[in-house]
Amino acid sequence: MAADAVAGLANQAIVTDGMRYSLFNLIGQTMRGHRGWPRAWRDPDPKAGYDVVIVGAGGHGLATAYYLAKEHGITNVAVLEKGYLGGGNVGRNTTIVRSNYELPGNEPFYEHSLKLWEGLSQDINYNVMFSQRGVLNLAHSDGQVDAFARRGNGMRLHGADAVLLTREEVRERVPALDLDNARFPVRGGLLQPRAGTARHDAVAWGLARAADSLGVDIIQNCEVTGIARENGRVTGVETTRGHIKAGKVGLAVAGHTTKLAEMAGLRLPVESHLLQAFVTEAIKPMVDQVVTFAAGHFYISQSDHGGLVFGSSLDGYNSYAARGNMPAVEHTIEAAMSLMPSVGRLRLLRHWGGVMDMSMDGSPIISKTPVEGLYLNGGWCYGGFKATPGSGWCFAHTIARDEPHALNAPLSLERFESGHLLDEESTGPFPNTH
Amino acid sequence: MRIPCPLCGERALEEFTYLGDATVKRPAAEETDPKAWYDFVYLRDNPRGPHRELWHHLHGCRAWLEVERDTLTHEVFDSRLARERGTEAK
């Protein structure tokens, strides 16, 4: 009976009352046994049409809708989601936030995103548990130390923060590291103190609540099956819940971007690949930062719950399976053991795979497309989470003004054709090498 | 995932490296239209389902293979030597 009551409640279109979360409200609700909390967002049926339809209620889609309403006053917006809100890659990542890129086309964008992260909890009145615990990249050779010095200088020239650490300074900060691994000894590191982690689900929920309170309709269980066009212009989308008219359509479906773009007749410089991630059982505080082991793409941090969260390279072949194979698991565990031999005593608690939109140069796309009224946000490779607010902010600008902001102009779809690639790792047009 | 090599039989994934989509066609060397090169170098169909792709049996017989594999289930349907490809229209 209780289950029926809950289902009945969910089916009603209960309007949230725009309650701000505060200590005062928390005390008031505590006195009333927590029975008076309103829904965090509505569950509306789709209207016949919207000014803007965003496909994908993940972090980027919800952030886009939020900034469309907040920065551009466009509130007649729907966010369509084929599954449930936050059920894609925003709920399947390792929660790292950083802006330690080198290229002029990337670093200003990621630094803008990091600045938005710094005020996000206050801005959307929802605690996303953004923790600026620092991201430390380890260097294993003198050449790598020099490369990190160059990267750190590049970051600082763009207004980000970066500190080059000696081997002893690394040892003081992360005592659990084996600095004398025979093959990959640690020579030093590059620390970005303002980088860190955030609670990924809270990011999706907080942005959903904030967008909803500004009038955005978030429509779940609504899969887009076609993109309607007339004379080369987008007129709406076909969905499992009927046709929805739209003045503009924005795609934010990283992992499946090419499938959606195909509905509008576009082929993209993107392949879908597989990345696995791991969480151990919870232990007492051991790793205070995010630490990356540059020799193996390996990265590790510790969640507030105590589990070590880590991952490394892609499996390396095209895949939509969202589950991986053993060679990548072995590679990751070997990197973990090389870097921190003590983790060998731990048991794995969870392990999962996600579908990554790997672009041909390893950098994302926030862009207009050759189809008028259709906008593209994708190609996030395995770095989409950190970009969530910046991506939404830039994508909202691109959709509202029909032109990119200076921050995302270099992230255009045309850059592949014009040769203005943003290939941070200089590995060429092979998505599995980025 | 295991890949059948026509020369060595079914072998573990670790023995292979991956190049990518086997259906893209390199334009003729004298092709001067940048669009044709853009297509070849950057654009992919990225199917969700059967995918023809090039694998290198690097830590085995070093043969290049064309493998047909499902990107959704990782099931491998077919594998043959890359030098024998193009014998039927694709």
Does residue A354 share a domain with residue A301? Answer: yes
What distance in Å separates residue B27's CA from the closest CA in chain A?
16
Residues of chain A with C-beta less than 8 angstroms from the C-beta of B12: 327
Which residue would you say has higher pLDDT here, A9 or B52? B52
Q: What is residue B33's predicted lDDT score, i.e. its pLDDT? A: 96
> Does residue B90 fall inside a structural domain?
no
What CATH number corresponds to the domain at position A246? 3.50.50.60
Q: What is residue B86's predicted lDDT score, i.e. its pLDDT? A: 62
What distance in Å separates residue A322's CA from the closest CA in chain B?
8
**Closest residue in A to B1 (Cα–Cα):** A325
Tokens standing for residue A416: 């592949």
Residue with tokens 């017989």: B61
Query: What residues form DSSP beta bridges with A258?
Result: none
Boundaries of domain holding A17: 1-39
Measured on CA atoms in the order A169, A171, A175, A179, is the torsion positive or negative? positive
Q: How many domains does chain B have?
A: 1
Q: How many domains does chain A have?
A: 3
Cα–Cα distance for residue pair A333/A97, rounded to 1 Å: 23
Does residue A218 share a domain with residue A165? Answer: no
Query: For residue A296, what pLDDT band results from cuts at 50, 70 and 90?
Result: confident
Does residue A407 share a domain with residue A264? Answer: yes
Does residue A55 share a domain with residue A34? Answer: no
Residues of chain B with C-beta less than 8 angstroms from the C-beta of A326: 13
Q: What is residue A16's predicted lDDT score, i.e. its pLDDT? A: 55
pLDDT tens, residue by residue, B8-42: 999 999 999 999 999 999 999 999 999 999 999 99
- The answer to whether A429 contacts B42, with C-beta atoms less than 8 Å apart, is yes
Does residue A285 share a domain with residue A355? Answer: yes
Does residue A185 share a domain with residue A97? Answer: no
Does residue A418 share a domain with residue A395? Answer: yes
**Closest residue in A to B52 (Cα–Cα):** A318
Name the residue among B18, B21, B44 with its Cβ closest to that of A316.
B18
Reduce the DSSP state of residue B9 to 3 states and report it.
strand
Does residue A155 share a domain with residue A20? Answer: no
Boundaries of domain holding B67: 2-84
Q: Is the pLDDT of residue B90 over 60?
A: no
> Does residue B20 fall inside a structural domain?
yes
**Closest residue in A to B34 (Cα–Cα):** A417
- Average pLDDT (A423-429) is 92
- The answer to whether B41 contacts A429, with C-beta atoms less than 8 Å apart, is yes
Does residue A129 share a domain with residue A4? Answer: no
Contact of A311 with A275, CB cutoff 8 Å: yes
pLDDT tens, residue by residue, A22-52: 999 999 999 999 998 999 999 999 999 999 9
Cα–Cα distance for residue pair B90/B88, rounded to 1 Å: 6
Of A148-152, A247-251, B85-89, the poorest mean pLDDT is in B85-89
Does residue A129 share a domain with residue A252? Answer: no
Tell me phi and psi for residue A9, to 5 degrees. Answer: -65, -40
Q: What secondary structure, in 3-state letters, does chain A show?
A: CHHHHHHHHHHCCCCCCCCCCCHHHHHHHHHCCCCCCCCCCCCCCCCCEEEEEEECCCHHHHHHHHHHHHHHCCCCEEEECCCCCCCCHHHCCCCEECCCCCCCCCHHHHHHHHHHHHHHHHHHCCCCCCECCCEEEEECCHHHHHHHHHHHHHHHHCCCCCEEEEHHHHHHHCCCCCCCCCCCCCCEEEEECCCEECCHHHHHHHHHHHHHHCCCEEECCCCEEEEEEECCEEEEEEECCEEEEEEEEEECCCCCHHHHHHHCCCCECEEEEEEEEEEEEECCCCCCCEEEECCCCEEEEECCCCEEEEEEEEEEEECCCCCCCHHHHHHHHHHHHHHCHHHHHCCEEEEEEEEEEEECCCCCEEEECCCECEEEEECCECCCHHHHHHHHHHHHHHHHHCCCCCCCHHHCCCHHHHCCCCCCCCCCCCHHHC
> Does residue B59 fall inside a structural domain?
yes
What CATH number corresponds to the domain at position B28? 3.30.2270.10
> Does residue B24 fall inside a structural domain?
yes
- Average pLDDT (A14-29) is 80
Q: What is residue A3's predicted lDDT score, i.e. its pLDDT? A: 42
Residues of chain A with C-beta less than 8 angstroms from the C-beta of B65: none
Name the residue among B18, B43, B45 with its Cβ closest to that of A317.
B18
Does residue A201 share a domain with residue A287? Answer: no
pLDDT tens, residue by residue, A391-415: 999 999 999 999 999 999 999 999 9
Does residue A95 share a domain with residue A30? Answer: no
Q: Is the pLDDT of residue A309 over 80?
A: yes
- Average pLDDT (A311-327) is 94
Query: For residue A1, what pLDDT band results from cuts at 50, 70 and 90?
Result: very low
